[in-house]
Amino acid sequence: MVFSSNVFLFLFLPIFLGLYYLSGQRYRNLLLLIASYAFYAWWRVDFLALFIGVTLWNYWIGLKVGAAGVRTKPAQRWLLLGVAVDLGILGYFKYANFGVDSINAMMTSVGLEPFILTHVLLPIGISFYVFESISYIIDVYRGDTPATRNLIDFAAFVAIFPHLIAGPVLRFRDLADQFNNRTHTLDKFSEGATRFMQGFIKKVFIADTLAVVADHCFALQHPTTGDAWLGALAYTAQLYFDFSGYSDMAIGLGLMMGFRFMENFKQPYISQSITEFWRRWHISLSTWLRDYLYITLGGNRGGTLTTYRNLFLTMLLGGLWHGANITYIVWGAWHGMWLAIEKALGLNTNQRSFNPIRWALTFLLVIMGWVIFRSENLHVAARMYGAMFSFSEWQLSELNSASLTGLQVATLIVAYMTLAFFGLRDFYANRPKADAIKGVKPAAGEESTEANGPATAQPGMIKAVPGDQPNSIHLPGYTVGTDAQVQPAFWVADWPRYAMRTLVLLLFVASILKLSAQSFSPFLYFQF
C-alpha cells in the first residue's frame, strides 16, 4: 500500500484514524502495531513473517545486551551476533541476486558453468527496518537507551507505518518517550494534515510529471546534449520532490498520531559543498551512517589519512545500502571522494554568504552523481555523460521533442523556481546559526534568536505592547491600547498561514483528481 493511492486515502487512513482516536490511550500503540502490519501485509502477507521475525530477534538481542551490561565483553558478543544476523538477512534478500550474477559473469568468461539460483524477491522496506533494529541494539550496548521489555512498543517502533517503506530512519531512543507520553492536539493534527498534503502535492503534481521526462531521456539510445541535460535536470528535481514528498507525508502522519519524527530534508539543493549537501539530504540516513558506521570505523581519531579512508568507506557502503548495483557503489564512491577532498582542503562548510560559484559547482557535482544513481548500468551512465559534455547538439532529438508536453516543461520550471525560492529563504533565515557554529558574534544592533528564547513572538501570538491597560479598547481583529498602538488579533496576524493552508488544500484536491487519472506510480525509494 502506498500513501498516494485511493485505497490508502479513502479506506485505510480514515478507518485507522477513527479507531485510533476512539480508542483509549493504553490501546493506541497496539492498534498502531496491528494497523502497521495490515499496511505491510497489503503488499505481501508472506513477507510479514520475516518482518515479525526480525522484530522478535532484535527485541530478544536487546534484552540480552542490556542484561550483560553497558560495553561489557558479553554484551559485545551478543551485539555482534545480533548485527551479524541482521546483516545476513539484509544481505541475502538484497544482494544475493547481484552476487550470483557477478560470480556467474566471471565463471562464464572462463568457460565454467554458472550457478543457478532462484530469483530472490526484495521485501519492501527491509533496508529501513533492519537499520532501525541495528541502531536499537547498538544504542543499548552503548548505554544510550535502556533495553525495553515492552514488546508492543518495540514492535510498533519498528513497524510504525508512516515511515515503514521509505523512512525517515528512526531511532528507538528518540521515540521511546513518545510511545508512552505523546500529546494529541488539534494544532498538531492540523499541522500534520497540512504537512501530509504538501508531500502528496510534491509527489503527484511534480515528481510524477517529471518522471515521464526523466525516464524518456534516460531511455534514448542516442541522446543529444539537450536530451541528456534535460533528463539529468528532470531526474534531479523528480528525486527530491518524490523522496522529500514521502518524508513530508510520513512526518505529517506521525503528527496526526501525536509523534514528532526527525526532519529528513533541509533544502539540500542550496548547498555550497558536498559536506553541506549531506547535512541537508536524507538527514536520517546520513546521521545514521555517521553515528553507527563512520564512528565505528574510527571517525577522525586515527589520523588524517584514516579520516579520509573512513569518510570514503562510509559513503561507499552508504551507496551499497541503496541497492545491489555497481551504479550505487560508484555513486557512493563519488560522494565519498568529494567529502574526503573537501576535508583535505579544509573547506569552510558553514558559509555566511551565498557564493553562486560554489553553489553552481556543488550542484553540478550532485547532478553528475544523480546521473549514475539513475542509470540502469554503467553503459547508460557513460552514454548520458558523453552526451552531456560533448556540447555538440543542444536541440532535443525529434523523438524527445515530440513527446515533451507544455505541462511537463512548465512543471520543470515551477519545480526549480520552488527550489530556488525556498532554498534561498532557508539559507538567509538560518545564517545566524552558521555564525554561532563558527563563534561569530552578532553585529551591533543584531539580536540572537536563541538568546530571545521563548519570549520571541511566534505566529499566532498577540504581542504585548507597552502601555497596555485593562480597559484597552477592543475592535474586531485588533486591540487598541491607551498608547494608541494597534496590534492585530491572531486571525489577522496569521492570514498568510491560513491562506497557505487553503492553497495547499486546493492543490491537494487537484492532486487527488490527477491521481485518479494517472497510472500507478510508486515512490522511488521503495526499491531501496
Counting runs of H as helices and runs of E as strands, what totals does the chain give? Answer: 25, 3
> Can you tell me the distance from the alpha carbon of 479 to that of 463, in angstroms, rounded to the nearest whole number?
10
> Can you tell me the distance from the alpha carbon of 17 to that of 379, in angstroms, rounded to the nearest whole number?
48
> Can you tell me the distance from the alpha carbon of 394 to that of 416, in angstroms, rounded to the nearest whole number?
20
Q: 479 pairs with which residues across the strands?
A: 474, 487
Do residues 224 and 393 lie in contact, with contact meaning Cβ atoms separated by under 8 Å? Answer: yes
Cell matching residue 493: 496576524
> Can you tell me the distance from the alpha carbon of 204 to that of 242, in angstroms, rounded to the nearest whole number?
8
DSSP for 316-359, written as a single string:
HHHHHHH-SSHHHHHHHHHHHHHHHHHHHHT---S-SS--HHHH
> Has 322 been annotated as catalytic?
yes
Q: CB-based contacts of 381: which residues, under 8 Å, 6+ apart?
A: 327, 330, 371, 372, 375
> Can you tell me the distance from the alpha carbon of 261 to that of 244, in angstroms, rounded to the nearest whole number?
14
Q: CB-based contacts of 527: which residues, under 8 Å, 6+ apart?
A: 122, 323
| Phi/psi of residue 459, nearest 5 degrees | -55, 135
> Can you tell me the distance from the alpha carbon of 247 to that of 264, in angstroms, rounded to the nearest whole number?
7
The pairing of beta strand 478-480 with beta strand 486-488: antiparallel
| Phi/psi of residue 199, nearest 5 degrees | -65, -40
Do residues 241 and 147 lie in contact, with contact meaning Cβ atoms separated by under 8 Å? Answer: no
Per the listing, cell 548547498 goes with 271
> Can you tell me the distance from the alpha carbon of 359 to that of 272, in angstroms, rounded to the nearest whole number?
4
Q: Which listed residue (163, 282, 322, 335) is catalytic?
A: 322
Cell matching residue 54: 526480525
Catalytically annotated residues: 322
